[in-house]
Amino acid sequence: MKRFNACCSQFIIFALFITSLSARCHGEVELDVAPMEKAEKDALYSTIQGFVGHWWNGSDLYPDPCGWTPIQGVSCDLFNGFWYVTVLNIGPIHDNSLSCAKFLEFTPHLFELKHLKTLSFFKCFETQHRHQVTIPNANWEKLAGSLESLEFRSNTGLIGKIPSNFGVLKNLQSLVLLENALTGEIPPAIGNLNRLKRLVLAGNHFTGHIPDTFGALGELLILDLSRNSLCGTLPLTLGSLTSLLKLDVSHNLLEGNLLKEFAYLKNLTLMDLRNNRLSGGLTLSIQEMHSLEEMVLSNNAIGGKFRTLKWENLQNLVILDFSNMGLTGEIPESISQLKRLRFLGLSDNNLTGTLSPKLSTLPCLNALYVSGNNLAGELKFSVEFYGKMGTRFGAWNNPSLCYPVGIMPTSYAPYGVKPCQQEIKFVESDAKNGYMDMAFHSMASSGFMSHVPNGFWWTFLQEILMMGLFMNFFYIIF
């Protein structure tokens, strides 16, 4: 009897273990095959068919679009035991992504995906003369509670304006409209998206002013409005973007002065304002931007003196490009205190004075361009500096600039810079000096002074000429 009870007990324990294991496995299977609501599935299928074509019916998906054979570019999450679409990426992001149809459209079903967090389109709307697509203005309020990222990248056939209804997407953190064919003005309603951290509208055909309402985007980290046709002045409200890390408004038609309010951008690491129509000189607010690593203001008619700023304050600078800005004055030696500087571009200005040899002591410098100025005097850099820089040292088109002869190999001589000439001077009476000048003028007109070669024969010729010159001189005197 005891033996039977023992065997019975072991059997019961084993049965309970198997039952528990089965239940656990059954739970995992149930998780993997969690159902998708029919309305969600229909909305997803209709949305995809609008972009890739009605031939697609999801017949190869098992057991549903979020199951073991998911759609590439579609991600799901569980809400109350059901799968819902949270990510929808349309376009050739991956090799096996769904390809966009030649003729496609936004269907209203897109806005029925009520848990959608990320929506992106990449190289989907190609240029079609007969079928260009615009972004719908309606129904975006249906995604206001969920959508966090909205991107349209490299869609050359996507035309029209930015929908003003984007302003209702209160949870949006990233809005990227990059390299499309969008036009018109930037709607001020974008300033309502106060949770935005990234706003990229580059590479379109936007016109008009930068909205003042952007000052309300207090959490913004990246603002890129480059490569458009924006005009007017920089809004003063940009100074309110104290969290900003990157500001790029290059390649536009912006005009007016640099902002004093730049001083408030204490976290900014990149400021790119090149290729605009800015003027008014350098503002002292720039020297308060201690976190700047890249400052590019080239190709603006800003003007003013380069020495205006206390450059030693900008110890984090890595790239400084002030080319073609109409700057005047000398290059301050304080630039040589920027120990992280790698690129210094000062070409095509009206800079004068000499080029400080202290610039060669910058440990990270690998590109220095000062061509097209009025720099003068002798370059006093070491042979090692020229060898390190190579073609990345540009100093041509400075008529009064020269390099010393005989201290470096010919291959290291800076391109477009003439060798320095040693002048021979005599201190004699006026009559003697006049005779000397006449004699040397005669030599120069004969072609002897047009070039200064090196070597034994030139030295020998110089000695003969000088001996003949002095013999004639003493004959006249005595």
Tens of each residue's pLDDT in the chain, 478 residues: 444 444 444 444 444 444 444 433 333 334 445 788 999 999 999 999 999 888 888 877 777 788 787 788 899 999 999 999 999 999 888 776 778 888 888 999 999 999 999 999 999 988 765 677 999 999 999 999 999 999 999 999 999 999 999 999 999 999 999 999 999 999 999 999 999 999 999 999 999 999 999 999 999 999 999 999 999 999 999 999 999 999 999 999 999 999 999 999 999 999 999 999 999 999 999 999 999 999 999 999 999 999 989 999 999 999 999 999 999 999 999 999 999 999 999 999 999 999 999 999 999 999 999 999 999 999 999 999 999 999 999 999 999 999 998 777 788 889 999 999 865 444 444 444 443 343 333 333 333 333 334 444 444 444 444 454 444 443 434 4
- Asked which of 397, 419, 441 is the last residue of a domain, the reply is 419
String of DSSP letters for 376-439 = EEE----HHHHHHHGGGEE--S-TEEEE-TTSS-GGGSPTT-EEPPPPP-----HHHHHHHHHH
349 and 281 in one domain?
A: yes
Q: Tokens in use for 413?
A: 């001589």
| Structure letter (DSSP) for residue 28 | H
Asked if the structure places residue 13 within a domain, the reply is: no
Looking at the fold, whether 466 and 406 belong to one and the same domain comes out as no
pTM, 2 dp = 0.81
CA 347, distance to chain mean position in Å, is: 20
- Greatest Cα pair distance, the chain, in angstroms, is 154
What's the CATH number where 311 sits? 3.80.10.10
Same domain, 217 and 250: yes
Looking at the structure, tell me whether residues 197 and 334 fall in a common domain.
yes
Residue 444 and residue 344 share a domain: no
Q: Which domain holds residue 438?
A: 430-477
Q: Specify whether 373 is located in the same domain as 439.
A: no
Question: Is 28 a domain residue?
Answer: no
The residues, any chain, with a CB within 8 Å of residue 134's CB and separated by 6 or more, are 158, 159, 160, 161
Q: Are residues 398 and 441 in the same domain?
A: no
Domain count, the chain: 2
Tell me the Cα Rg of the chain. 36
Asked if residue 17 belongs to a domain, the reply is no
| Domain-located, residue 406 | yes
- Residue 390 sits in the same domain as residue 453: no
Are 111 and 257 within one domain?
yes
Are 189 and 166 within 8 A, CB to CB?
yes
**Does 258 map to a domain?**
yes
Residues 442 and 410 in one domain: no
